[in-house]
Structure 1
Amino acid sequence: MTNRALVIGASGGIGAALAEALIARGAEVTRLSRSGGAFDITDPETVASALCGLDGPFDMILVASGMLAPEGGRPEKALAEIDAVAMARVFAVNAIGPALVLRHVPRLLPRGRRAIVGVLSARVGSIGDNRLGGWYSYRASKAAVNQIVHTAAIEIARQRPEVMLAALHPGTVETAFTEAYRAHHKVAPDVAAANLLAVLDRLTPADSGGFYDWAGKPVPW
């Protein structure tokens, strides 16, 4: 049972839905977000100040921040569209930001009992599943965060073997994040949240460090 949860990126479509779903389960939820408290996941000092100001332990920590492309831009369709500044911004939000959070996570986790850390990723971050190309910055940043989560799981397991970390693909969700992109099937944020929490509920320590889709199926690296 999740008694205390921390949701980072809690003002976004999926993050807000995750927070509400956890509250409906009876959890005490702490929310951090840019619009709900000036939490900038890309700024080391902001992250450190916010997380060091929290008292753990948390049974669940979720990182639901993400960016497809900088405001006013779009994912690259070709190599010729790659822009260094835009790519750095996408990496800062999608990979470096979660790494800055994970740096502080061990202090917020319990010892001797189950706890879960979930980080939103995306199937397009899978190298093995890439058949269409394009979206260089988004794909590469999600591949990077998958490696960060996997590596953090190895380290954290040495001191807290009951803690599980996972990179999660939520599917295509109806949010401002995806409204400009067509998809064969989009799910509502509350449905996505329920799916992801169901996946996390089923994780065992042997699954820690994995990359899973909304149905709990492993996604190729």
Structure 2
Amino acid sequence: MASLRENYRALVIGASGGIGGAIAQALEADTRCGGVIRLSRRDNLGFDVTDDASVGQAAQRIAAQVDGLDLIFNATGALTIEGVGPEKALKAVDPQVMLKQFALNAVGPALLLKHFAALLPRDRRSVFVSLSARVGSIGDNHLGGWISYRAAKAAQNQIVRTAAIEIARTRPLAVVATLHPGTVETGLSIGYRGNHAAVAPSEAAANLLDVLNGLPPESTGGFFAYDGSAIEW
């Protein structure tokens, strides 16, 4: 993480998940890191990324502990919610299922940006990244299906891009972006990997950290894959 300052501070949201946990472990193993804060619904009682007050309270609590955050990594999100997976056809669309997808995969990142963007320093490079998915790309959609999940991730991409424009006005060195981790051996992808080769969470974490490490401020608002390539909207 040479592009972040010595003794940088990091926050991993969704740190109890497969990718989030691997990201936190990789950062904790970095001798240049000054500390990693782990935040998750499982380990922080009452924390809920879909609840405005909950996210606001978490941000206030963390702001009182540190003098800014150099890296904020949002690893929250889900493909299957409350046992319901992605739809395969229009006739399967359920409005309540769709709302839950949007709450977690779009509203959640919006609330995190709303409350945590102020913790990014104004005078040095900082990074806010949020996990998205290639299936959230409108231009890259050639298979159809998965309407609720695709739409929620596409909404997240727009939220992050719009937030990046605003954040750049006061924090010109900040990078705000969405990342596609590829197919990872986690509970999220079980049953949906198909013929796609899956990588271990530790490998996925290393790939993602390499990507964000190489992103210049000019790339803020972008959508990138685990290999650093840009993904069309």
Asked if Structure 1 and Structure 2 have the same fold, meaning a TM-score greater than 0.5 normalized by the shorter chain, the answer is yes
Which residue number in structure 1 is paired with residue 207 of structure 2?
Answer: 195
1:43 to 2:51 alignment = yes
- Could you say what secondary structure the match of 2:189 adopts? coil
1:24 to 2:24 alignment = no
Work out the percentage of aligned pairs sharing the same amino acid.
Answer: 56
Root-mean-square deviation (CA), in Å?
0.9
For 1:218 and 1:113, the matched residues in 2 are separated by 24
TM-score by structure 1 length? Answer: 0.98
Matched positions, count: 221
Cα distance, 1:182 vs structure 2: 2.6
8 Å contact kept, 2:74–2:129? yes
Which residue number in structure 2 is paired with residue 112 of structure 1?
Answer: 123
Which AA in structure 2 matches 1:40?
A: D
For 1:54 and 1:105, the matched residues in 2 are separated by 9
Cα distance, 1:180 vs structure 2: 1.8
Which of 6, 10, 22 is 1:5 aligned to? 10
1:208 to 2:220 alignment = yes
1:132-147 mapped onto 2 (5 Å cutoff): 132-147=143-158
8 Å contact kept, 1:121–1:167? yes
- Could you say what secondary structure the match of 1:199 adopts? helix
1:59-78 mapped onto 2 (5 Å cutoff): 59-78=70-89
Which AA in structure 1 matches 2:214?
A: R
Higher deviation after alignment, 134-143 or 50-59: 50-59
8 Å contact kept, 2:160–2:221? yes
Structure 2 unmatched ranges of 5 or more: none
8 Å contact kept, 2:176–2:220? yes
Which AA in structure 2 matches 1:193?
A: A
For 1:219 and 1:197, the matched residues in 2 are separated by 17
8 Å contact kept, 2:183–2:193? no
Which residue number in structure 2 is paired with residue 169 of structure 1?
Answer: 180
Cα distance, 1:54 vs structure 2: 1.0
Which residue number in structure 1 is paired with residue 232 of structure 2?
Answer: 220
Higher deviation after alignment, 174-183 or 200-209: 174-183
8 Å contact kept, 1:119–1:166? yes
Structure 1 unmatched ranges of 5 or more: none
Which AA in structure 1 matches 2:186?
A: T
Which AA in structure 2 matches 1:11?
A: S
8 Å contact kept, 1:5–1:30? yes
Q: Which runs of 4+ in 1 moved over 3 A?
A: none
